[in-house]
A and B are shown apart, each in its own frame.
Chain A
Amino acid sequence: MTSTLRIAVSQEHGNAPVTVLHLKGEIDANTQADLESKAEEVVGTGTQNLLLDLSEVTYMGSAGFRAIHAIAGKLGDEQSATAIRSSHLKLLNPSAEVSKVIKTLGFDSYLDIYEDINQAVKSF
């Protein structure tokens, strides 16, 4: 059995254009590169604001968070990583299990997390 991660892309418009990556499946060391390469692809086509929809992510370990760290760097958030919340990368609807890992790693002090996609899109 191999872990799989499906990624669908949609475009939303609030105060600014927002690209949403809808993730479905598991994010581990086997699928980390899929997420990073898709993010790189959309950033390469001009995306400046990225929302990761985690509502159908059934598992996320440290590989997922390394991917998020790398994506933040691609969006230009790296310089403010230690002190300020990310303004270009946000998360939507993580499961309770994924939320627990987010808090364990302290990523919640850097990344805004939303339960409602409209609120998330408007926040950019």
Chain B
Amino acid sequence: MAKKQRLVIEAQLDNLSTVRRFVEESCRIFGARDSVVSDLRLAVDEAVTNIIIHGYKKRGGNIDVEVERKDDALVVCLRDNAAVFNPATRFIPKSQMPLGFESPGRLGIHLIQKAIDDISHRITESGGNELILVKRNGDVVQG
């Protein structure tokens, strides 16, 4: 079994469905439970949407998506050459959760924060972004 699955897409909103299918299929290859699949699919969809809309500002570019199994965790790595943006800096204090109906502007960040266990960001050598999303728990992966 390959330890890493990779997809490169054009940064366009009509590719979001392709990204979600890829994450879903990769998670299943690695034996993830349904709840883990849906959490990672949601977090990646939100992160990639942010890259397309806010990073590339809908002007296009590439997004590299990798899904990897590391021990009992599933790790998704997103790389782009868009404007530098670290979603973790916009995370919402627990005291403000749930966001509720009055804050439609930060819903995607909220969902990423709730769906995954760990997030890290670094600026790549080319000046783009590398965003790592980790779903970690002892029971993430079956078998």
Interface residues of A (CB under 8 A from B): 1-3, 26, 28-30, 59, 61-63, 65-66, 69-70, 72, 81-82, 97, 100-101, 103-107, 109-111
Contact = CB atoms under 8 A, between A and B. Distances in A.
Interface stretch (B60-68, B75-83, B108-116, B129-137): B108-116
A106 B100 contact: yes
Given A29-B13, A105-B111, A61 B42 contact: yes
A62 B46 contact: yes
Contact of A30 (B17, B38, B99, B110): B17
Given A3-B17, A29-B13, A62 B100 contact: no
Given A61-B46, A97-B38, A105-B111, A1 B101 contact: no
A82 B101 contact: yes
Interface of B: 13-18, 20-21, 38, 41-42, 45-46, 49, 52-53, 97-102, 104, 107-108, 110-111, 114
Nearest to B114: A104
B65 to A, nearest CB: 14
Contacts of A59: 20, 41, 45
Contacts, number: 83
B19 to A, nearest CB: 9
Given A3-B14, A62-B46, A110 B101 contact: yes
A28 B108 contact: no
A6 to B, nearest CB: 14
B129 to A, nearest CB: 18
Contacts of B99: 105-106
A26 B42 contact: no
Given A104-B98, A106-B97, 13 more contacts: A26-B20, A28-B13, A28-B49, A29-B52, A30-B14, A30-B16, A69-B104, A70-B104, A81-B102, A105-B99, A106-B100, A106-B101, A111-B101
B49 A101 contact: no
A2 to B, nearest CB: 4
